[in-house]
Amino acid sequence: MKSVYPGVFTKDGAYLTVNIDPGRKVYGERTLREGGSEYRIWDSYRSKLSGALKKGLKEFPFAPGVKVLYLGASTGTTISHLSDILGPDGEIYAVEIAPQCMKSLIALSERRQNIIPIHGDARQPKEYEDAGQVDIIYMDVAQPDQDDILIKNARMFLKPGGIAMIAIKSQSIDVTKDPKVVFEAVLAKLGPVFEIMEKIRLEPFDKDHLFVVLRYRG
């Protein structure tokens, strides 16, 4: 087992996190025990952040104690691994609009106290303004205006110099255009607000997705 980032390990080509809720799985992931700890294998076909790690992601700001605003939380697959990494002193404000997903998030938060589920619309950040300032915004919202959504949330919540991560899905923006053209248009919109640090295509894990790491200029 090799440590590659705080709270993230690698073994046999897979990424893993130490399960802070031992004996329980979140999405049917494989687990293994080593050195007295239980590790959860991070499925790159189920988590875009894990896919980005597999594709060579270098900027990884998540660490024990940081505060994250997660837009598009879904059922909490990626969030569960971030929960492992952030530990008891970290916080993940998990925003999700779909009621069915919220049921899973709430159940997850009952066992993982660093997850704060929020039933809200990422287009309306005032709905969850009590989250306050955060170190990182992670966004996986498949909407045509996802660039505007990220900018609006960054201006309300992200500390100056803070990191934003966005998974841009070209097919949710314009199915008639080449994905490269769509990605370039989104990056041009984000450029005045953020410094672009990394760009990673997520194939074969997710088709027509660009994973982007940004630093807030605010």
Question: Which helix H or strand E contains 166, and what residues bound it?
Answer: strand 158-169
Model pTM score: 0.94
Report helix, strand or coil for 214. strand
Give the single-character DSSP code of 143: -
Nearest by Cα to 206 from 73, 42, 14, 54: 54
pLDDT in tens, 159-202: 999 999 999 998 888 788 888 988 999 999 999 999 999 999 99
| Token pair for 154 | 């960054």
Say what percent of the chain tops pLDDT 90.
Answer: 89
Report helix, strand or coil for 22. coil
Domains of the chain from N-terminus onward: 44-216 (3.40.50.150)
